[in-house]
Every structure is written in C-alpha cells, then in structure tokens.
Amino acid sequence: MNVTKILWHEREDTKKRQEPMRIHFISLGCPRNLVDSEIMIGRLLAAGHTVVSDERDADCVVVSTCSFIEPAVSESIDVILEMGTWKEERKGRRLIVVGCLPQRYGSDLVKDLPEVDAFLGTGAFHRIVEAAEGIMDDRGRILLPHPHEAPLQDLAMPRFRTTPAHTAYLKIAEGCSGRCTYCIIPKLRGLQRSRPMEEVLEEAGALVASGVKELVLVAQNTMAYGEDLGPPHHLEGLLEGLTHLSGLVWVRLLYGHPDRVTDSLIETIASHSMICSYFDLPVQHISEPVLKAMGRRHDSAALFKLFDRIRRVVSEAALRTTLMVGFPGESDQDFQRLLDFVGRVRFDHLGAFIYSNEKDLPSKALKNHVPDVVKQERFDRLMSRQREISGEVNQKHVGKTLKVLVEGETEAPDAVWVGRTAFQAPEVDGVVYIESGTAHPGMFADVLITEACEYDLKGTIL
C-alpha cells in the first residue's frame, strides 16, 4: 500500500498542497518520544518535505517535548523560547510544538507562547503534516484529542530512524494503567494499549533486514505488554518470537516494573543468549510508608527477594533501577533505608530524580512536603553513594574479555573507538572506550578490559 497516498487521503482534499519545506526536528525526553519523532519525520518525508540537521537551514522547526518532571518541562520551555528567536530571524518560518508539554498544560501554552504556530498533543501526532503546512487553522492553534484517539503505531505509518544503523528502538505499547500518585503518564498517554504481537514481530523483522543488530524494546511499562490484549499476547511470547529473527544479535528490555517480573520471564531471559541479561526495574523507593503514599504495591521484602531471585537464576544479570528522593513524607529514616538498600543490592546502574510537586498530581495533596534544599542534599548523597558502588562493581570486569558493540569513533583521550556491552544500554549507562584495534561501527568485537572507571570501562580489541 502506498503510504504517501494514505497521508494524502487523511488531509483535506480542498486544501492546496504546500510547497516542499525544509524541516528540523528536536526530540527531547526518552526513547519513547524519539520513536514518536521518527514516525512524524516519516510522515513529513512521505508528504514530500525534507528534514535537515541544522535549524538555520530550516523553514519549520518541530519540538517534540517531555513534561514528566520539572527539569524536563524547563528544558522544553527553554528550547521553545530559543526556537522562537530562530523564527524571528526570517519571515515565513514556522514553529510547531508536539507531545507531552501541550498535552499536560493545554490552552495555557497558547497564551504563554505566542511564537508557536501550532501545538499537537499526544493524541494528534498523526496531524503533523497539517500542522507543519499550516492548514489546521480551522481547528485553531492547538489540537488536544484524547491520547486514545491517536492510532497505535502500525506498519502503514512510515518511520525514519535517527539512531545508528545497528540499533533501533521498538515501541511495543503505549500508555500506562498504573495509578502511581507522582506520575502524570496516564493523563498524557492514556491507559495501556499494546500493539498486536504479529505487527511488532513484522516491524522487528523489517528492522533486522535493514541491518539492525540490537533491538531495544520500550513502552511505558514493557513488562505489562499484552495484558490488555489477553492470551496469547504476553512478553515472554514476544521475546521468544524475536529470538527467531536471523541476524539479530541483542534484544534489550527497558522500562520494566518490579511487580510484573514473573519466574517465567526470568527463565525466558536466562535461556536465550540473544536476550540481554539486563533488568531495568524502577522501584522508586524502599520504605513502606513512602511506597504506600506513592501508590506502589510492592514492599521492601518483595524487592529484596526479587533481585536475589534474578541473580540466582540469570548468570551475569545486570540490574538497573530508578529512585526518587524527596517524596512528600519522606523522613530522614526513610532516606537512610534507601541508602542502605542501594548499598545492599549494589545495582550495576542507577538513576535518580527529585520529586516535582506539580498541581495536577495526586501527591500534591499529601502532607509533610520535603524542603527543596533537603531534596537536593539527599539526591547528592544518593548519587555519591552510587558512584562508589558503580566504580567497585566495574572492577570485576577488569581482565575479562567482553563482547562489545562498536558504536563509532571517539574524541575521548587515549581512545579510538567507543562501544557498549550487553549490560550497557544506549544513552543511559556507561560505555567501553577502546584504546586500540581495528573496528567499524556496528561490528561486535572481543575487547579485553584493562581499566574500570566510575561508570565506564576501557580496553583493547583482541
């Protein structure tokens, strides 16, 4: 089926077709946002427009935004204002803002950001061509349909990948049906909607056929995949299907949930060398009073048991988590328990963020909010402790030969190439700096690890 014709029929036939434009994309936030951006770029290319890498050459800039926490909101606003200045430099330029920011703040943005020509919420990504071409004037400057009104990604939607040729993100579901009191995602993205397994596998096959060697599965909660579809759709089945793709070397899971890790899932990962033994399981906290206030269902005993079970069953399992500090009601004792938890589990990778007290969150109504200065102090202490642990954990790799996916050349001192092991996810974890040897991007090399840093490793190709 011709994608360009599909796009044309979705447009208003009475509108005159726009002359081709040069469009620059800025994608902020997580890999899930990046997949949305890649699909929008695909639609624009199919409509005859060109995407350029420098905004100075562009007629239109599209900013794909994130608004999950306060720093993400601030970054989105700063970029929009910067592009507002870009717009003023030449008459006729257009500025489009899409994604979570307009979905969260709605019509307030129309008043506060007059330099923006059009806002598209998360349910209106498929209208990007109309917004860029300026033919949605009859609908106003902002489109905010419910997120469920947007079609799920399918094979009729063109996608232009912006990641390296050997790695691709594969979005397997949209939305989240959780009820965490600190989280705005269900409002921004709707409830869980999983893509049919046969469509996911078909897209995966096409990606691998194009040269992709590492597929990174993403969703708001990857481990809830298929729960809204019912049997036979479930994550274990999807993983099994992916292992049959010839040419695929690594499958990686991001954005899991500790409550969804079953014995069956652990065993599936353990039984396939192609599936990276990488468990990304954001737990947020360990203290029961804080977890209860957050709306999390697990407790400390369940978490300790889970991580012990993973390490017992999966050889060389890498554990990653995300924690939150400064949640309302978090006491000094609660925070100390969190530090003790990190010291006991000794995560390979750990990210943390400071609680953002936004007015549209259920947690806003909670009592005993933590002062900002205390939040920052706790964050600094937590990350300092993790730096120590990460450096110590990395030492165990010195002297080993590890399989490394070479990403490309690097300007880092004393290194020629940079790559990643199976226990290092793209963009969020450390890397391996390769100091000598012949390589090229996308190849897998046997690297002897000679040095361990706080987050990164160094080695030479054998």
pLDDT at position 152 is 85
The pLDDT assigned to 4 comes to: 24
Mean pLDDT in residue range 313-342: 97
pTM for the predicted model, two decimal places: 0.92
Asked if 438 contacts 421 with a C-beta cutoff of 8 angstroms, the reply is no
**Domain map (residue ranges) of the chain:** 3-149, 167-393, 398-461
Burial 340-355 (b: 16+ CB within 10 A, else e): ebbeebebbbbebbbb
Q: What is the rounded CA–CA span in Å between residue 279 and residue 269? A: 10
Higher-pLDDT residue of 68 and 448 is 448
Does the bond joining 114 to the residue before it have cis omega, within 30 degrees of 0?
no
Domain at 167-393, CATH class? alpha beta
Task: Compute the distance between CA of residue 24 and CA of residue 131 in angstroms, rounded to an integer.
Answer: 14
Q: Quick one: the chain helix, strand, coil %, rounded to 5?
A: 40, 20, 40
Q: Rounded to whole angstroms, how far apart are CA atoms 418 and 433?
A: 5
- The arithmetic mean of pLDDT across residues 413-438, rounded, is 95
β-pairing, 193-194 vs 50-51, is unpaired
Tell me what pLDDT residue 18 has: 65
Q: What is the CATH number of domain 3-149?
A: 3.40.50.12160
Which tens digit of pLDDT belongs to each residue from 328-359? Answer: 999 999 999 999 999 999 999 999 999 999 88
CATH number of 398-461: 2.40.50.140
Predicted confidence (pLDDT) per residue in 135-158, tens digit: 876 567 899 999 988 788 878 778
Query: In this structure, how many other beta carbons lie within 10 angstroms of the beta carbon of residue 112?
Result: 11
